[in-house]
């Protein structure tokens, strides 16, 4: 079981906006003429150059908004630690948690006995929640008994600079599996929408060609493409 | 049951630093002479004036660091949404969750039947966690079954401007009870340490003398002191 | 003389994205179905309601990118103090400052004698710049002699929440004239693009119907429209 | 001529606060007991380890406040681009600029002819400022004619994580000389106050032992100590 992600909004013509903003820093042209002469090839070369010198601030002008469903609150608690981002999350204070709905980690799902144990416990927690609500306990208090793995939904916006940073941290094999899975889906979406803004991107093995982790996993990704189709 | 808070660090002489920084904006003195002539009375008047004109940026120069124990992950998930703050939180990926340890909301604690139900369910969830770990499930995955109300510990730093904002939002009777309780304890600590930086502070009923909520609770606090001793 | 502003990029369908994100917080629907049933009237009412309860975080999902020319470095120095924003600014380290090009404040422009004095001094400063460069001084050092009022160009991105905050501060008659002029042009552009996200907006006299300044100017704006056509 | 910097405030016992916060993430102890057993050696080793795995967030709990005089507005305009920082800056709207007071770059100061030219132009600009003010032009407008290199004073607060980032960018020989000079003085001060939080630190040649610039200068610093005594 894993989260679903949709790209619901993005800066129109994001790549050219980033290139134009970057060009302004070094050019005598006016901000309002910046698009003049910026053809696709120039844009591509320019963005590659920016990345190579670490001049990432122009990437902030492009924003991407995702709708995320089926993510556990374990993962959303990590996710909202990214402070250069905007979040709207379904509230358990206002929304009644209907049917049992916890994310089952693969390490549990692959073991039938563990799965049965997990699901029984999740169902019982949800039953306790419902009984507490029936007793008159406010749902904002009854939810304390729901599993931490309960599903949530969010709308999240990040700019392309922060996304590159997010992918560097969260696509590493050392990251928690669920947020990696989310990051992989996000990356597939933005690569479709604005490939030049995320080329290369990802953990240091892909983006820099060498691992910067203190304890390397020993299985560096060979390319962004390899990373995108990986399921471990 | 409720969280414990300690103030473990603060900017030394915080009030004077804030006053000196503010004075610099309007004065021809050098930054390095700013303390000259800043006696306690001048500092107090100056800070009151800053607040009255809404010039809050100098309050950012004073920082406060809190050690927080016994807060539920429900509340910590809300807490880390404050982006102008720094957090270090106990990781459930690395730390084994020993004895059952969920925060029991007052609305449950005051009802013996609800309490029994809650505690039984929390114990069973924890037993499931322990059995999953015994089966070889990584603890970062087993924790998905633990109640969302599980206790956590954090170290958190906020500056005095953000604290004033935090108190405005989180001390209102409309806020969630647990984060209100945390905010009240934080406020008591910083009022002891640097009273002038938080005078007045709190929800609009106290800080501005009139409620700015769309749906007023009808029970405005009369003063910061009243708010601090309130237990509802 | 005054700055020129163009809106060069914006979140597509910004208003609906904001409304959908806000709706998610209170609804049991999935993030990916959020647009269902969100017609123009519902969106409008919903946004008004959010504003009235101060729930501004969903406004962060909409971003706007401006190209700004002819702004003085005096004003850009103020502008970049807004930290929840992204900037790309023309560099005086890399770009040669050709013809004399300083912004002339109205208080000077309306007085022929002051104008003559200002322009002569600006021309002489620029002549000194050119002579220094000719002597081999790097342009990044020669620029120290250029007037602070020298024109600059920027690309700037802000989200709709920060824009509302920016308009509250910078459209007040107490704000510096040049940044007010910039803010007025930005407001006209975003009102055309996404009116519901900025209705109402501006200083407290317009947005809240009463002045929150310590020293009111005594000339409150009657409406956003009045503010937009005002030239003082 | 160069800026003067004083460290006017810092988090008390900053190093231990950072170590304690970091320890919390991996330990079952309570936040309020975190100092137990944290002796100087453990702290030192722990901080080194954090840095080596790139776990920099605990460094945010330590804050440092600087009083800065004699910095040009050219440099302060760059400086305030650091968004994870707090600034209070002397206002040219409210403070009259008395005697001529522009920072003279070394590239100019070392050439008597350039110096004479620069100083004459700076004096004339200031004379124009004074005449404009005498004519009734508000000082906030008259200042448009003052040189961009005019001196300013600031109070600035940064946390230790941002300081490490600041030193990485601004101590590189590729950075602008004036902000490098400022950074070097800041580093000397914080190394005296909390050496373990900045060991190593600085550009990639020092902090990582290899240059990450696209166009290396060819003169890597051998150590932080070498960097601190360098005057080029």
Quick check: C1 pLDDT over 60? Answer: no
Q: Is there a contact between C31 and A68 if contact means CB atoms under 8 Å apart?
A: yes
Q: What angle do CA D94, D179, C144 make, to 5 degrees?
A: 60
Instruction: Give residue D35's pLDDT.
Output: 79
Query: Would you say D103 and D153 are in contact if contact means Cβ atoms under 8 Å apart?
Result: no
Give every CB contact of residue C106 below 8 A, 6+ residues apart in sequence: C177, D141
Please tell me which of the candidates B76, B108, B150 has its beta carbon nearest to residue A137: B108
Residue D108 touches partner C, C-beta closer than 8 Å: yes
Instruction: Give residue B165's pLDDT.
Output: 96
- pLDDT by residue (tens digit) across A79-134? 999 999 999 999 988 888 888 899 999 999 999 999 999 999 999 999 999 999 99
How many whole angstroms from its chain centre is CA A153? 13
Q: Is there a contact between D14 and B12 if contact means CB atoms under 8 Å apart?
A: no
What is the DSSP code string of D71-92? Answer: EEHHHHHHHTT-SSSEEEE--T
Q: C with D: how many residue pairs have Cβ under 8 Å apart?
A: 134
How large is the average pLDDT for residues B167-178? Answer: 94
Closest-approach residue (CA) in chain A for D169: A54
Residue C229 touches partner B, C-beta closer than 8 Å: no
What is the DSSP code string of D22-63? Answer: HHHHH-SS-GGGTTTT--HHHHHHHHHHHHHHT--GGGGG-E
Please provide the distance, in angstroms rounded to a whole number, between the alpha carbons at the two ends of chain A.
14
Cα separation of C108 and C116, whole Å?
9
Cα separation of A210 and A216, whole Å?
10
Residue C83 touches partner B, C-beta closer than 8 Å: no
- Between A161 and D40, the more confident residue is A161
Query: Would you say C156 and C181 are in contact if contact means Cβ atoms under 8 Å apart?
Result: no
Residue indicated by tokens 């479709």: A192
Q: Is there a contact between B147 and A144 if contact means CB atoms under 8 Å apart?
A: yes
Instruction: Give residue D114's pLDDT.
Output: 98
How large is the average pLDDT for residues B11-33? Answer: 89
Please tell me which of the candidates C13, C65, C91 has its beta carbon nearest to residue A25: C91
What is the DSSP code string of A22-45? Answer: HHHHH-SS-GGGTTTT--HHHHHH
Cα separation of C76 and C36, whole Å?
42
Cα separation of A48 and A13, whole Å?
17
Cα separation of A149 and A140, whole Å?
17
Residue C209 touches partner B, C-beta closer than 8 Å: no
Q: Say what percent of chain B tops pLDDT 70.
A: 99
Cα separation of D63 and B227, whole Å?
30
Contacts of A144 in chain B (CB under 8 A): 72, 74, 102-105, 108, 118, 147-149
Quick check: A166 pLDDT over 80? Answer: yes
Q: Is there a contact between B61 and D157 if contact means CB atoms under 8 Å apart?
A: yes
Tokens of B225: 């002191």
- pLDDT by residue (tens digit) across D120-145? 999 999 999 999 999 999 999 999 99
How large is the average pLDDT for residues D170-186? Answer: 95
Q: Using the 8-state DSSP alphabet, how is residue C91 labeled?
A: -
A192-222 residues labelled b (16+ CB within 10 A) or e (exposed): ebbebbbeebbbbbbbeeebeeeeeeeebbe
Q: Nearest to residue A21, comparing CAs of B55, B160, C75, C66?
A: C66
Query: Would you say A231 and A110 are in contact if contact means Cβ atoms under 8 Å apart?
Result: no
Instruction: Give residue B38's pLDDT.
Output: 85
Residue A158 has phi, psi (to 5 degrees) of -135, 150
Residue indicated by tokens 């806020």: B175
Q: Is there a contact between C212 and B53 if contact means CB atoms under 8 Å apart?
A: no
Other Cβ atoms closer than 10 A to B67 = 25
Residue indicated by tokens 């969830």: B125
Q: Is the dihedral of CA B23, B27, B31, B34 positive or negative?
A: negative
Instruction: Give residue B155's pLDDT.
Output: 97
3-state secondary structure of D209: coil
Residue D106 has phi, psi (to 5 degrees) of -55, -40
How many whole angstroms from its chain centre is CA D150? 18
Cα separation of C150 and D148, whole Å?
8
Query: Would you say A10 and A62 are in contact if contact means Cβ atoms under 8 Å apart?
Result: yes
Query: Would you say A116 and A109 are in contact if contact means Cβ atoms under 8 Å apart?
Result: no
Q: Say what percent of chain D tops pLDDT 70.
A: 99
Instruction: Give residue A76's pLDDT.
Output: 97
Quick check: D1 pLDDT over 60? Answer: no
Give every CB contact of residue B206 below 8 A, 6+ residues apart in sequence: B171, B200, B220, B221, B222, B223, B224, B227
Q: Nearest to residue C18, comparing CAs of C163, C166, C184, C208?
A: C163
Interface of B with D in 22-61 (CB under 8 A): 22, 24-28, 30-32, 34-35, 57-58, 60-61
Query: Would you say D60 and B65 are in contact if contact means Cβ atoms under 8 Å apart?
Result: no
Q: Nearest to residue C78, comparing CAs of C197, C181, C224?
A: C181
Q: Using the 8-state DSSP alphabet, how is residue D154 labeled?
A: E
Q: Is there a contact between A213 and D53 if contact means CB atoms under 8 Å apart?
A: yes
Length of chain A: 232
Quick check: B232 pLDDT over 80? Answer: no
Q: Which of C143, C170, C173, C180 is catalytic?
A: C170
Q: Is there a contact between C157 and A65 if contact means CB atoms under 8 Å apart?
A: no
Quick check: D156 pLDDT over 60? Answer: yes
Query: Would you say C160 and C144 are in contact if contact means Cβ atoms under 8 Å apart?
Result: no
Cα separation of C45 and C64, whole Å?
22
Contacts of D193 in chain B (CB under 8 A): none
Other Cβ atoms closer than 10 A to A152 = 27
Q: Using the 8-state DSSP alphabet, how is residue C83 labeled?
A: S
Q: Is there a contact between D144 and C105 if contact means CB atoms under 8 Å apart?
A: yes
Cα separation of D115 and D106, whole Å?
10
Write out the E strands in chain A.
Answer: 4-10, 63-72, 86-89, 151-159
User: Is residue C66 within a helix (H) or strand (E), and if so which, with residue range?
Assistant: strand C63-72
Tokens of B148: 């969302």
Q: Say what percent of chain C tops pLDDT 70.
A: 99
Instruction: Give residue D232's pLDDT.
Output: 65
- pLDDT by residue (tens digit) across B103-131? 999 999 999 999 999 999 999 999 999 99
Instruction: Give residue B1's pLDDT.
Output: 53
Quick check: A1 pLDDT over 70? Answer: no
Q: Which residues of D are catalytic?
A: 170
3-state secondary structure of D94: coil
3-state secondary structure of B187: helix
Query: Would you say D198 and D187 are in contact if contact means Cβ atoms under 8 Å apart?
Result: yes
Residue B140 touches partner D, C-beta closer than 8 Å: no
Give every CB contact of residue C83 below 8 A, 6+ residues apart in sequence: D83, D84
Query: Would you say B82 and B34 are in contact if contact means Cβ atoms under 8 Å apart?
Result: no
Quick check: B72 pLDDT over 90? Answer: yes
Q: Using the 8-state DSSP alphabet, how is residue B105 labeled?
A: -
User: Is residue A98 within a helix (H) or strand (E), and if so which, with residue range?
Assistant: none
How large is the average pLDDT for residues C105-123? Answer: 97
C17/chain A closest Cα distance in angstroms: 7
């Amino acid at each position: 079981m894993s989260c679903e992600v949709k790209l619901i909004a993005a800066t129109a013509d994001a790549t050219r906006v980033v290139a134009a903003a970057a060009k302004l820093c070094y050019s005598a042209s006016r901000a309002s003429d910046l698009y003049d002469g910026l053809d696709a090839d120039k844009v591509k070369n320019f963005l590659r150059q920016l990345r190579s010198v670490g001049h990432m601030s122009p990437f902030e002008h492009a924003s991407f908004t995702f709708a995320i469903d089926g993510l556990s609150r374990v993962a959303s608690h990590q996710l909202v630690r990214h402070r250069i981002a905007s979040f709207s999350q379904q509230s358990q204070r206002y929304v009644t948690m209907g049917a049992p709905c916890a994310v089952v980690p693969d390490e549990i799902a692959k073991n039938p006995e563990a799965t049965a144990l997990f699901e029984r416990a999740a169902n019982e927690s949800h039953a306790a929640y419902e009984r507490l609500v029936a007793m008159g306990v406010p749902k904002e208090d009854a939810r304390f008994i729901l599993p931490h793995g309960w599903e949530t939904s969010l709308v999240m916006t990040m700019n392309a600079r922060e996304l590159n940073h997010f992918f560097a941290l969260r696509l590493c094999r050392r990251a928690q599996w669920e947020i990696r899975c989310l990051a992989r889906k996000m990356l597939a979406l933005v690569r479709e929408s604005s490939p030049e803004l995320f080329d290369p991107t990802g953990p240091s093995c892909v983006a820099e060609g060498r691992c910067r982790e203190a304890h390397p996993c020993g299985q560096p990704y060979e390319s962004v493409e390899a990373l995108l189709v990986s399921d471990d």
